[in-house]
Amino acid sequence: MPRFRRRGLVGVLAMLMGAFVFAPSASATTPGVNGRIVFSANATGTYQLYTVRPDGTGLRQITHAALFAGSPDWSPNGRRIAFSFGIGFDYAGIAIIHPDGSHRRMVPTVPETVCDCEPAYTPGGGRIVFSSLIPSELQDLILSERVDGSHRHLVDFQSDDSPGDPNVSPDGSTVTIAFSYGGDAPDDAAGRMLFRKSIDGGFEQNVLPLKAYVGNKHDWAPNGERILFTGNAYVNGEPANIATVKPDGSDIRWLTHSADPQRTFDAGSYSPDGRWIVYRLEDHGQYALMRMHPDGTHKHVILPFSNLRPLDIDWGPHPTP
């Protein structure tokens, strides 16, 4: 699935930063009761959002627009979903919607923005982090702001790469970012790594190297002890598989072991109670929505093989007041 990629300089970064208001890190989150699963899929000519119960019942399309809808993320209380909404991956804004598809609204943005994408809530639910692209020779940015679009905070900026899918750790202190470098074709300079940075900018670490070819969708375990990711996701002719890793990059554990390039696995997210992982299985052009335990056992079908191709899968909590 294509992701935005732009190159640029930092010619007006200082001027832009004058408009940002820095904020403290978010409060801690706690594991929740399992609710519905949301994902994006193109079954109607454009990508729309769908939700389904963990047992596969109650499949429901919740967006019905001519515009693209993708990269959904549940709010910590299970009462909202933030997502990318626009004419495509490179030209989108951030919208928030109720799980039943009602009360959709756009999050205000700055006029110079051409793409605010891939939002993720902070544990307190009052802010989101997201990828942003502003033209005029600016770099790709990772930003944080309140859900009303105010109080923007620069988390990270990159040059000659494509940062994506920022996610906040359960304690609210750290943001993980997957990003590419060196182009799309695998070669000595290319790859896709997982990067970790404190939300206030005081700490950073490469969790997984470029040659891990990390998929765009990754997720923290609710207890903060491990990170779920897809490895080998952008290497033609080789299968992608799902693994978890400690936040310091140690103790990689592979949960799937496909050697067939026609049978690949794509990570979604942990369940709120931490007992399950939701993911996509692709097998010779057919796609199934699946779940398994965090050790890779007890694989179960949620939605059977079809052409639905669920993407950007996120398991939400049962709604709370």
Report the CATH number at residue 242: 2.120.10.30
User: Which residues is 120 bridged to in the sheet?
Assistant: 129
Residues 6+ positions from 30 with CB-CB distance below 8 Å = 170, 222
* Cβ atoms < 10 Å from Cβ of 307: 10
260 close to 239: Cβ distance less than 8 angstroms? yes
Model's pTM, two decimal places?
Answer: 0.88
Specify the pLDDT at position 109.
Answer: 84
Which two tokens mark 288?
């199934």
Which two tokens mark 143?
């930003």
Is 7 within a domain? Answer: no
What is the distance between the alpha carbons of residues 90 and 86, in angstroms, rounded to a whole number? 9
Specify the pLDDT at position 251.
Answer: 98
Range of the domain at 245: 13-17+34-317
Specify the pLDDT at position 227.
Answer: 97
When divided into structural domains, the chain yields a total of 1
Is 287 within a domain? Answer: yes
Is 236 within a domain? Answer: yes
Q: Which of 130, 208, 154 is nearest to 14 (CA)?
A: 154
Is 269 within a domain? Answer: yes
Is 27 within a domain? Answer: no
Specify the pLDDT at position 119.
Answer: 95
Which two tokens mark 256?
């799937």
Residues 6+ positions from 49 with CB-CB distance below 8 Å = 38, 39, 40, 61, 62, 63, 69, 70, 72, 81, 83, 97
Which two tokens mark 112?
């110079």
Average pLDDT, the chain: 85
Mean pLDDT in each 10-residue stretch from start to end of the chain (321 residues)? 36 36 36 92 93 97 94 96 86 94 92 84 94 71 91 77 84 87 54 88 86 92 96 88 97 97 96 97 96 98 94 94 77
Residues 6+ positions from 126 with CB-CB distance below 8 Å = 26, 146, 147
**Diameter over CA atoms, the chain:** 53
Specify the pLDDT at position 138.
Answer: 58
Is 29 within a domain? Answer: no
The CA radius of gyration of the chain, in Å to the nearest whole number, is 18
What is the distance between the alpha carbons of residues 84 and 102, in angstroms, rounded to a whole number? 16
Is 93 within a domain? Answer: yes
Is 26 within a domain? Answer: no
Specify the pLDDT at position 171.
Answer: 92
Q: In the 8-state DSSP scheme, what is residue 210?
A: G
Specify the pLDDT at position 165.
Answer: 87
